[in-house]
Amino acid sequence: MKFNQIILEKLGVLFQKCNLNIIEQRDNYLKLLSKYLVIIIAHNQLENSNTIWLGRNDDKMDKVEVDNKVLKLFFGSDLKLSDVSVEIFVKNLVLFFENEAQPLLRGDIDRINKLEEFDLERSQKYTQGLLDKQSLVAANKAWDEGDYREFIKLIDETNKDELPSSYQLKYKIAVQKL
């Protein structure tokens, strides 16, 4: 049986109850739409991976990928949807939709907005982490070259409180050297 057929066999009735209509369907892809919610469920045969995206029914292209971290941190669930077989994915997807995702399926706009805010915040933290790493690489170079003014400037661009103590010590030394 094809991936989309397996999903519909296990969740079709629930989707109908929640007024989720299939708007696009292929062997390994299913897109459902309700008045408030978009759900995309996909299987990548090359990677043998399964993915689900959720989001508001609007013109925004960005939908939230619900991976194991989102399940744990946002929904408080120990279910696994990433890095599992199709069988486990479908089983856990059924449990997810019957439990943690119920407010979303019912069209709870506040919960959908909170999910999107959570995803945006997580994305911003990730981006800030990358920027901090770049600043630290540049700060190390400035330190090695004895450019203490540049070192201080680059460290000031990061979250100093979260830096290892070695950088905080170097920062104090750089300030003293100026």
pLDDT of residue 58: 84
pLDDT at res. 144:
94
DSSP helix/strand/coil, 29: strand
- Residue 162 is predicted with a pLDDT of 81
CA 121, distance to chain mean position in Å, is 10
Query: How much is the pTM?
Result: 0.79
Q: What pLDDT sits at residue 76?
A: 94
pLDDT at 1: 84
Angle between helix 3-17 and helix 86-98 axes, rounded to 10 deg: 10
Per-residue pLDDT of the chain (178 residues; tens, 9 = 90+): 899 999 999 999 999 999 999 999 999 999 999 999 999 999 998 898 999 999 988 877 689 999 999 999 999 999 999 899 999 999 999 999 999 999 999 889 899 899 999 999 999 999 988 998 999 999 999 999 999 999 999 999 888 778 888 888 898 999 998 8
Q: For position 178, what pLDDT does the model report?
A: 82
| The 21-26 sheet, strands edge to edge | 21-26, 29-33, 37-44, 49-56, 64-65
pLDDT at 22 (0 to 100): 95
What is the per-residue pLDDT for 164? 86
Axis crossing angle, helix 165-177 with helix 109-144, rounded to the nearest 10: 50
E strand or H helix at 24: strand 21-26
